[in-house]
């Protein structure tokens, strides 16, 4: 499949790059090797005229900006799956089992949402790896990729142009390309704040248990570039509590998965993902990539001086940034009226992250782990 350029084909060179560049990717939980198509010439040619791909090989199209980048199957010799990713590298659309169409293709394949990347793999790859909207990929010079087997085991049938000082086989992640610049030392997003009790009515149990509602409300308004006043906040928190009580039979607590689903269903925010591979660096990485992060917490470990002692055992906090110079996360903590931009030490905050059961103050099982909700625009 080839990218369908806006310019006339005759105005774009169709010479295949002489020295293709490859990069290891981790797509969901699978490592594959991708040839990079990051120039107009490479994107226009794509995989046209190729005879095949091996099972763990693909082509990653990297565009200068997010857009509705369309593809066609001109001069293709085998069927493909195509996966579009946004600027956060999360799946925004899929086209599967796309058939070749020869020299005069009639069909064009366009994502439903703007995309910054597109990955082409063998037909059937999406189904066999159970890839879904919201799944993501990372470049494997990222430590979150984990252990990588030697390249010769991953791709025994492919010849890679390797930089002179980069070994072909190694027990550590091999970097062929470093497409990312270092993460910024400080990130802070402008996000409207509300306490979960906007007018201080902590006696109302709906507001007392409204941390999840307040967190996703702030995130949703940020996604939609909307402000928030106290009257609106109270109306939304109470309405969301009523919605949960009618749908689930309770409003008190929702764990990370259920809170993310509320954000999707109630506020129609599509770019929401729950991750359990939580670390200080993983949270910072998502923030540096342009997303907000929401984490379930044991508020008693946080020791916020503004909480009523001993603090909430079940709490949800919206993270809006970080500051390496002070080693702190920057949050909108709805558990206090002084929570706008409240800062927590990295280590103390991370220690406090703990998911909890959905329900009306259900007991902990002892199996609760760490989780984070990643919210992108």
Rounded to 10 degrees, the C-alpha dihedral 175/179/182/187 comes to: -130
User: Is residue 227 within a helix (H) or strand (E), and if so which, with residue range?
Assistant: none
Ranges in the chain annotated CATH 3.90.70.30: 186-375
CATH code for the structural domain at 186-375: 3.90.70.30
pLDDT of residue 182: 66
- Give the residue range(s) of CATH 2.60.120.1140 domains in the chain: 2-154
Architecture in CATH of 2-154:
Sandwich (2.60)
Q: Which of 243, 256, 225, 244 is nearest to 318 (CA)?
A: 256
The pLDDT score that the predictor gives to residue 11 is 30
What stretches in the chain show pLDDT beneath 50? Answer: 6-18, 147, 149-180
For 52, phi then psi, to 5°, come to -175, 170
Per-residue confidence (pLDDT) for residue 5, from 0 to 100: 53
Global confidence as pTM: 0.55
Interatomic CA distance for residues 215 and 57, integer angstroms: 40
pLDDT value of position 209: 94
């Amino acid at each position: 499949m080839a990218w369908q350029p806006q310019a006339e084909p005759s105005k774009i060179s169709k010479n295949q790059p002489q020295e293709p560049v490859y990069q290891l990717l981790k797509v969901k939980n699978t490592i594959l090797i991708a040839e990079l198509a990051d120039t107009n010439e490479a994107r226009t040619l794509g995989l046209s005229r190729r005879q095949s791909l091996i099972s763990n090989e693909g082509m990653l199209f990297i565009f200068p900006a997010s857009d509705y980048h369309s593809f066609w199957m001109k001069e293709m010799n085998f069927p493909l799956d195509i996966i579009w990713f946004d600027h956060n590298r999360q799946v925004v659309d899929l086209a599967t089992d796309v058939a070749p169409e020869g020299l005069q293709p009639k069909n064009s394949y366009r994502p439903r949402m703007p995309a910054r990347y597109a990955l082409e793999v063998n037909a059937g790859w999406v189904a066999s790896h159970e890839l879904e909207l919201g799944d993501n990929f990372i470049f494997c010079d990222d430590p979150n990729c984990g252990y990588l087997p030697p390249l010769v085991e991953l791709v025994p049938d492919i010849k890679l142009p390797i930089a002179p000082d980069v070994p072909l086989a190694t027990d550590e992640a091999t970097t062929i390309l470093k497409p990312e610049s270092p993460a910024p030392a400080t990130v802070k997003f402008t996000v409207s704040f509300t306490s979960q009790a906007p007018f201080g009515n902590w006696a109302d149990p709906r507001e007392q248990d409204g941390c999840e509602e307040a967190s996703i409300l702030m995130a949703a308004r940020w996604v939609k570039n909307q402000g928030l006043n106290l009257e609106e906040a109270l109306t939304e928190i109470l309405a969301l509590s009523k919605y949960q009580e009618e749908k689930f039979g309770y409003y008190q607590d929702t764990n990370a998965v259920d809170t993310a689903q509320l954000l999707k269903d109630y506020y129609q925010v599509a770019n929401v993902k729950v991750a359990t591979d939580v670390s200080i660096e993983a949270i910072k990485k998502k923030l540096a990539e342009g997303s907000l992060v929401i984490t379930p917490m044991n508020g008693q470990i946080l020791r916020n001086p503004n909480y009523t002692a001993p603090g909430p055992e079940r709490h949800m906090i919206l993270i809006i940034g970080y500051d390496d110079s002070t080693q702190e996360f920057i949050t909108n903590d709805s558990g206090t009226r002084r929570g706008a931009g409240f800062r927590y030490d990295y280590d103390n905050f991370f220690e406090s992250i703990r998911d909890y059961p959905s329900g009306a103050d259900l007991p902990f099982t002892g199996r609760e782990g760490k989780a984070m909700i990643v919210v992108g625009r």
